[in-house]
Amino acid sequence: MTDHLRLGVNIDHVATIRNARGTRYPDPVRAALAAQAAGADGITAHLREDRRHITDEDIARLSAELDIPFNFEMAATEEMLAIALRHRPHAVCLVPERREERTTEGGLDAAGLHNHLAPMIDRLREAGCRVSLFIEADPRQIEAALRLRAPVVELHTGRYCEVEGTERTAELRRIADMAALAAKNGIEPHAGHGLTYDNVGPIAAIPQIAELNIGHFLIGEAIFLGLHESVAEMRRQMDAARG
Ligand SMILES: CC(=O)[C@@H](O)[C@H](O)COP(=O)(O)O
Ligand SMILES: NCC(=O)COP(=O)(O)O
């Protein structure tokens, strides 16, 4: 069991609001600093190929101005690799990306993309970035992460969040089993996507999971609670679930 379950706050959708009008506010870096003050252990941002929310300038500023670890989410492309090598963030999480998707719809096929990913992961590792693979809770993907020598996997909790009843119980079991398999093989398991106050508890209670990355829900709640309280409440929910 990990002592402290870390909270990574994803600030993508602060940039969504900003980009809706093309202004310089709300500032994602200001949001990151506010989340840090509220108890976030790290900040996550996803520079998408279409720059629909986070921009290259946001990545540069986050890399330069944060006091807590910055987790740069990116597709496994040469363009994004060059940006990561330029800024050398604490962590890089490789995620699948399709332009037409509304949000990340599935996990990275690390097994099928081994030959494409291997040299990219090696270069990120040599640059000192902690590499994470955003994957489905699937033993084939855990085995692929092991072959790729990725130190971290982030288990996609999207389907767990979407289903209910016995389907959710089955998804939770799948995630718990893969977290245990990853940890048994020396890979640090994280989890994220779609987590809210209502569904985070069982995921936070999985003892091997070391970090949760949560964003969309927290930015939405910030409209009603303010960002500090939105993040602080998630921190409380996670701590209560971990016991
Ligand atoms: C990988 C993941 O689940 C999210 O961190 C990702 O950023 C989702 O993309 P959007 O933020 O564009 O929804
Ligand atoms: N990798 C998951 C993440 O960073 C945040 O996902 P979400 O909470 O915005 O769905």
- For 172-202, the pLDDT digits (tens) are 999 999 999 999 999 999 999 999 999 999 9
- Alpha carbon of 181 to ligand 1 centroid (Å): 24
**What does the block give as tokens for 150?**
């990725």
Residue 3: the pLDDT is: 73
Residues in the chain: 243
CA 10–ligand 2 middle distance (angstroms): 6
By most ligand atoms within 8 Å of CB, the mutation choice from 73, 74, 94, 153 for ligand 1 is 73
Q: Does the C-beta of 104 come closer than 6 Å to ligand 1?
A: yes
What pLDDT shows up at residue 33? Answer: 97
What's the 153 CA to ligand 1 centre distance in angstroms? 15
Q: Amino acid identity, residue 217?
A: F
ipTM of this complex? 0.96
Q: Is 10 in the pocket of ligand 1 (CB under 6 A)?
A: yes
Q: Closest-lying ligand to the alpha carbon of 46? A: 1
Regions of the chain short of the pLDDT cut 50: none
How many angstroms from the chain centroid is the CA of residue 160? 16
Sign of the torsion formed by the C-alpha atoms of 138, 140, 143 and 149: negative
Identify the pLDDT of residue 243: 84
Which of left, alpha, beta for 115 (phi over 0: left; psi -120 to 50: alpha)? alpha
Contact 70, 89 (CB under 8 A): yes
pLDDT of residue 62: 98
CB 152 within 8 A of CB 183: no
Q: How many Å apart are CA 19 and CA 139, to the nearest integer?
A: 39
Q: Is 13 annotated as a binding residue?
A: yes
Structure tokens that stand for 172 in this block? 């939770």
109 is in an annotated binding site: no
Q: Is 19 left (phi over 0), alpha (psi -120 to 50) or beta?
A: alpha
Rounded to an integer, what distance in angstroms lies between the CA atom of residue 38 and that of residue 121? 32
Ligand 2 in reach of 157 Cβ (< 6 A):
no
Which fold, 6-242? Answer: TIM Barrel (3.20.20)
Is residue 153 a contact partner of residue 190, using CB atoms and an 8 Å limit?
Answer: yes
Q: Which residues are registered as beta bridge partners of 134? A: 154
